[in-house]
Structure 1
Amino acid sequence: MWINKECIKGNNTLITVIGSKDAQEQLKSMIESLLNSKVMEPHECETQNDDCSNPDYSKCDDSNSINTITDIDWTVAAKECEEYQQKQWATYPDVKKNFYIEDPEVANMTKEEVEKIRLENNDINVAHTFETDTITDHHIPNPVQTFEQAFKHYPDILVEIEKQGFEKPSPIQCQAWPILLSGKDMIGIAQTGTGKTLAFLLPALLHIDNQEIPRSKRSGPTVLVMAPTRELALQIHKEVKKYDYHGIRAVCVYGGGNRSEQVKMLSEGVEIVIATPGRLNDLVQTDYLDVKGVSYLVLDEADRMLDMGFEPQIRKTLLDVRPDRQSIMTSATWPPGVRRLATSYMKNPITVCVGSMDLKAVHSVTQKVYIVNEDEKIDLLKEFFQNMTLEDKVIVFFGKKAKVDDLGSDLALHGVKCQSIHGDREQCDREQALADIKSGDVRILLSTDVASRGIDIEDITHVFNYDFPRDIEEYVHRVGRTGRAGRTGESISLFTRRDWALAKELIKILEEAEQEIPQELYSMADRHDEMQKRKSEERDGRRYGSSRGGNRGGRNGSDRFGGRW
């Protein structure tokens, strides 16, 4: 609606009001009343009784008049805001971060020994993420090779590790533990299934247990772990519960779960909160969760959270967490969005990258790609089901939730036991589906990309990409659902002409892993490049006034890919 008040110096202001007609009229009346009261103040200029349609502003006393327009000095405002926040956070107790007592054997390693250990552990690359003048401590701790080297001064932690039956630290753990125990911010870049959760969890337990303020007197959780999906959040929670360390309590909060039950658990007091961004913001905004006391923050699968559009929720949460926290970010890739977050919210982080930062699939998986027509897919999938052995377990990925439901119903009608998981299923059904595939009650899991990351089912033997994913990163993560925990696996992908834009990137992944590549895939990549080049030339031609006529090519499917199509 328009709120007109021409007596105020300047143009009309358009105010948009959403609500019922009565509510709109009531708000309009309130705004006009407020404006009238401002205009008729005693300090108003002497023309207050004149015809407002032609006010004489020259007679106004600008120092007292509402007509004065004051520019906001945003530099000053930002400085005042920062000073206010510093005063606010100054009332909080100091954070203790450094709990690392370096083993003499580790401390005395030569540079050559350090490089050799990193190379042997999947070629660990470690460096300061951003080379800036603010870095005062350039030292990067040497990697450890045993659990004792990292935790020998914390025997209760070693007891918990021993219960799990681990033989030695994984590559990411070798380098991450010395860094995190030293209290430094860290970015861990490694593929899923490499032990990233334990890498940040054990230092978190020590961080909780060794703060000066007793746990009973803290206003909220000490550790906050944000995860992109319910399944990953629940998996992290399950991992935390394996370690019964000094009575530390954890709760998992996520959309689709019982909110009342989650609120109840929070009210009873917890030290670790594992949360999805949406539910986390909901509980913070409604004052059921206070994150101001969080001093150890983990953004797990940060690239996935950004892919899913959670950046606004993440940034909002980070504003409420104390700035002198220790921050950890894990990611399978290093895209621009993750770099932006790290630049904004981390202090001189150290990047630990297991292997190359280039995207690649795990080498324990045999990747097979079949170039097919769309109508051939269902027969090939049914043929695969018929050839499954009793030891086989498969996750079949689809692009649409409706296809998951349709095929699930079709298999059930034919007496084939399977489970399905996608975003529209109830949380209890999703959890039951994962439980059934883990236990072996079913050996077929039909899924959308909700299960492509963070779901740890060690004995999945096959991944079947019925629909090829929309980007190559998702393909890599789907492949990573098999070949876990030292096992081998097989990935089968059905690739159609509608997927041809990804052919070139797929070839790179297959070549890096030394997999067999169909000749037709090379042809598709070449044809796509030719089409892109032709389109670019046509755009340039139109831009510089060339003829609009001529054969543009690439419109007919048979012309794109040669004889097959």
Structure 2
Amino acid sequence: MDIFRTLAGGGTRFDKRRFQNDLKIFGGADEASTSSTSVSSRQASSGKHKRAAADSARSTKSASNGAKVIVPDGLDFFGSAAKAKSTTSAIEREERLSNKKGKRKAAEVESDNTESDSDEEEEGCTDEPPVTKANLSAFLKKHKLKTKGTDVPLPMASWAELESRFSVSPWLRNNLKKYGWEVPTAIQKGAMPVILADRDLLAGAPTGSGKTLAFLLPLLHHLRAPNKKENFRAVIVSPTRELAQQIYEQLKRLSEGRNFRICVLTKTADASAVAKGDDIRKRKKFDILITTPLRLVHAVEKEEADLSNVRHLVLDEADRLLEEGFLEQTDSILAACSHPELRKALFSATLPAGVEEMAKTFMVDECRVIVGTKDSATETIQQELQFVGSEDGKLHALRSLIQEGGLKPPVLLFVQSIDRAKDLFHELVYDGLHVDVIHSDRPKLQREGVISAFKRGDVWVLICTELMARGIDFRGVQLVINYDFPQSVQSYIHRIGRTGRAGRQGRAITYFTKEDAIHLKTVVNVMRQSGCDVPQWMLELKNPNKKERKKLKQKAPERKEIRTSAASSVGRRLANKKRDMVAASKRRKVEDDNKGTTSGNRA
């Protein structure tokens, strides 16, 4: 690899001819020869004559004569000193290989910096034998799959079975290959055959494990092709508009070339750009509807949307949709989907017992597919608990992490309320961080702008509430910090699940105070199930009782205002002073304009 080409990736040119003697320290005589034929010939002759002396002395003089230079390990940043004989042909071979890989990954670049839950391959063999009743037990154990139900369809071992077992159209296979889905993940292997077999499904898998693709592909298979005569044939419900938009983006990639008519219905828009700006009442003929629950309920009540023809209903983040805040809306949606052949699929990273019991009341002969341990986090996340004493200690711990170099962007920082998100933003913005905040009080356009800036890398630290804890996949999030202790085990799993996605490594730090200690064991249990090292004293903590868990889930504890830094207080006062000056200037201008208008009327 040409390390100077890598260093100059931003467009800077490196003059190898001018710095040829320095270049040979890293690349050897052969690499230097690519910059000048005449120089290399002189180096070759002199290098041969002086090689013995150079090897014994290991001096800088040996470098100027084309001999191999031994660089200390601490200075050999690129591992190139031991490879001084690497030739131009080796570099060319690597470039050719890189070009081939580049073509295969071109689609990933087009899809910006965010991908849905299933955008990476699962590690493992790509040519596993098909699953039979004989090897089923071993297959389930290998992939940590648990299935339950009557005649549950056998899992699939590879994408090849889509055609051989289910006659999935070749265009779907082609789109899988085009966008880099080369190997199905565990949840895809277990859940897809159930939906393809036209069965109701209750599925649970860790965050970032590929749940979105697990229901999108079977859904497109059942729809076959666009149908201009029928109304909505499939509905996907998600708790947030951001997740709805993300599902839409992945669906467009997977359905590329088929012209399915897809409508995104959220609180702030009747239809997405797919509807070309038309009012939904004028364009009811869509194949697929992606929506948030409240907006869909309003559309049904106003007779803007007719769900009587829906054959496939997917509840993404089902645990949230079946909680008190969304339960009534979800019931209304289920009642509106009145087709006798309706099939339902529920997906979530966490499946509390109450949610499962509720789901069974409206599902028919359902199959249950779980990956790993129920209510567990992915094993690729390094989870840490940090005692900070009090609320003031949180900000001190965070600033210490920044100064020690432990805050490696991109970072998501979770707090329990909108007010605390604003307070923390006002503290950190004066620390020189590229920080921003996102919450439901901000307008849709502002939220979209913040998300785009975070994807581009313009924002390093994004402060957020529970809004961003579910489903949203920012590619490459290095660190998640729970500034405020999560209110439930489900909240904790969804929060930290924004990192360590699709097999990548991630880190999650949770701050806790003396007031949070009573609920500490809920997080400790998740850490233990995920294989994290937990101190013995934490394992011996008492589990909070049902009443305590319910109380915390319903109402967040009152916390002290986030404001400890004198420096940031000064900065805040300056900002407020500037704001007041601008406001006063505007008032004076308005008053002057009013006076001018009054005098003009008198004249």
Q: Kindly indicate whether residue 445 of structure 2 is the aligned counterpart of residue 428 of structure 1.
A: yes
Report if aligned partners of 2:130, 2:157 keep a CA contact under 8 Å in 1: no
Equivalent residue number for residue 284 of structure 1: 300
Aligned partner of 1:62 in structure 2 is none
Question: CA RMSD of the aligned region, Å?
Answer: 2.7
Q: Does 1:403 align with 2:414?
A: no
Q: Please tell me whether residue 349 in structure 1 is matched to residue 366 in structure 2.
A: yes
2:192 is the alignment partner of 1:177: yes
Q: Kindly report which structure 2 residues correspond to 1:61-210, keeping only aligned pairs within 5 A, or say none.
A: 109-121=131-143, 123-128=144-149, 138-151=150-163, 153=167, 154-209=169-224
Summarize the Cα distance change of 1:516–1:315 in structure 2 as closer, same or farther, 3 Å threshold: same
Change over 3 Å in CA distance of 1:301–1:247 after alignment to 2: same
Q: 1:436-465, CA deviations, whole angstroms, 9 ceiling, x for partnerless residues?
A: 212212111101111111111120010111
**Overall identity of the aligned pairs, in %:** 32
> Cα gap change, 1:256/1:419 in structure 2, threshold over 3 Å: closer, same or farther?
farther
How much has 1:259 moved relative to structure 2?
6.7
- 1:339 lines up with 2:356 in the alignment: yes
Given candidates 520, 523, 527, the residue that maps to 1:506 is 523
What's the counterpart of residue 311 of structure 2? Answer: 295
How many pairs does the alignment contain?
Answer: 411
- Where does residue 472 of structure 1 map in the other structure? 489
- Give the equivalent residue in structure 2 for 1:561: none
Aligned to 1:264, which of 275, 278, 286?
A: 278
Would you say the 8 A contact 1:107–1:142 is kept in 2? no
Aligned to 2:248: 237
The residue that corresponds to 1:250 in the other structure is 262
Shift in CA distance, 116/483, structure 1 to aligned 2, threshold 3 Å: same
2:485 maps to 1:494: no
User: Using the alignment, how far apart are the partners of 1:310 and 1:416 within structure 2?
Assistant: 36
Q: Whole-Å Cα distance in 2 between the matches of residues 528 and 174 of structure 1?
A: 36
Q: After TM superposition, give the deviation of residue 414 of structure 1 in Å.
A: 4.1
CA contact 2:234–2:289 (8 Å) conserved in 1: yes
Q: CA deviation at 1:411?
A: 2.9
Matched, 1:275 2:291: yes
Distance 1:320 1:528 in 2: 39
Question: Secondary structure, in 3 states, of the residue corresponding to 1:146?
Answer: coil
Q: 1:277 to 1:527 in 2, by over 3 A?
A: closer
Match of residue 312 from structure 1: 328
Output one character per residue of 1:315-365: Cα deviation in whole Å (capped at 9) or x when no partner: 1111111232111111223324423442222110111111122x2222111
Q: 1:414–1:505: structure 2 CA closer, same or farther, 3 Å change rule?
A: closer
The secondary structure found in structure 2 opposite 1:284 is: helix
Change in Cα spacing, 1:387 to 1:264, as seen in structure 2 (3 Å) is farther
Alpha carbons of structure 1 residues 245 and 201: separation in structure 2 relative to 1, 3 Å = farther
Given that 1:362 and 1:479 are in contact with CA atoms closer than 8 Å, whether structure 2 keeps it comes out as no
Q: CA deviation at 1:507?
A: 2.3
Contact between 2:172 and 2:217, CA under 8 Å: does it hold in 1? yes
SS state of the match for residue 191, structure 2? helix
Which whole-Å CA distance do the structure 2 matches of 1:456 and 1:504 have between them?
28
Partner SS state of residue 432, structure 1? helix
SS at match of 1:406: helix
1:82-120 CA-partner distances (Å, limit 9, x unpaired): xxxxxxxxxxxxxxxxxxxxxxx9998542312222222
- Please tell me whether the aligned partners of residues 312 and 342 of structure 2 are also in contact (alpha carbons under 8 angstroms): yes
Secondary structure in 2 matching 1:294: coil
When residues 319 and 528 of structure 1 are mapped into structure 2, their CA distance, relative to the original with a 3 A threshold, is closer
Q: Which segments of 5 or more consecutive residues in structure 1 lack a partner in the other structure?
A: 1-104, 129-137, 533-565
**Is the counterpart of residue 484 in structure 1 residue 501 in structure 2?**
yes
Kindly tell me: are residues 392 and 517 of structure 1, through their superposed partners in 2, closer, same or farther at Cα, counting changes over 3 Å? same
Name the CA distance, whole Å, in 2 between partners of 1:407 and 1:182.
49
In structure 1, how many angstroms separate the alpha carbons of the residues matched to 2:329 and 2:503? 36
Residue number in structure 2 paired with 1:10: none
Give the partner amino acid of 1:446: I
In structure 2, the CA distance between the partners of 1:173 and 1:415, relative to structure 1 (3 Å rule), is: same
The equivalent of 1:385 in structure 2 is 402
Give 5+ residue unaligned stretches, structure 2: 1-126, 549-603
* Secondary structure class of the residue paired with 1:402: helix
After superposition, the C-alpha distances for 1:18-39 in whole angstroms (9 at most, x for unaligned) are xxxxxxxxxxxxxxxxxxxxxx
Which of the residues 225, 228, 247 maps onto 2:239?
Answer: 228
TM-score by length of 2: 0.64
